[in-house]
Every structure is written in structure tokens, then in C-alpha cells.
Amino acid sequence: MAKPPTIQPGYCVAVHLLPETAPEDCYIGMVEATDEYGILINLVHWDDKLDMIGGYTESLFVPWMNINSMLVSTEVQPTRRFMADRARKWKSQIEAMYGKTSTTRKK
């Protein structure tokens, strides 16, 4: 039996990158595509006032070799809870590990 891919388009992810890979240590978004080279993520903005995804910004391509760890929410898990709560807390924890101030602020 063939194994399904672990990361699929439509999944929500919080990607923790290796140090000095990109301006931020962690990015949150929705998977657009994956291939043997890496993952393309459509970065999202969570609107606290509307309590929903406030929009998508740009896309970010990350080579697999630059990923340190990843928090993943599949299609069977609640996207809203992941984006509004769990992914942002995880991002803050990653930043705290490296002694950085949180870039995820409530508006």
C-alpha cells in the first residue's frame, strides 16, 4: 500500500527554519505545493478583530534542508484553532528559545 504524503496542499503549517535561513525563525501559512526540493507556503495574516484569516500575503518557498521542525494541521483538524491559537503560540515559543521578542502581536 502506498503511503500518503505527510505534507499536502491545503494543510496549515508553522515552519521553524534553521538559524540564519530567513529574516524570521518561524512562518505560518497554508501549503500551496510540495516537491522533492521543498515546500511553497502561502503566508497568512490572522485578524483578531474579525477572528478569522484576514488575508494571505506573499508565498514563501523553503527548501527541505532549511527546515528545522514543522507544526502541521491536516484537513481533519480545525484550521481556525490552529491559525488563531496553536501556531501563534508555537511561533512565540520558537522565538523565546532564541531569545527574540515575539513578532506575532494582537491588533
> Distance of CA 85 to CAs 35, 78, 93, Å?
28, 11, 12
29 bridge partner residues: 13, 43
Q: How many other C-beta atoms lie within 10 A of the C-beta of residue 48?
A: 12
Percent of the chain whose predicted confidence (pLDDT) is above 90: 39
Contact 21, 11 (CB under 8 A): no
Residue ranges and CATH numbers for the domains of the chain are: 12-97 (2.30.30)
Per-residue pLDDT tens over the stretch 23-70: 988 999 999 999 999 999 999 866 656 555 666 678 999 999 999 999
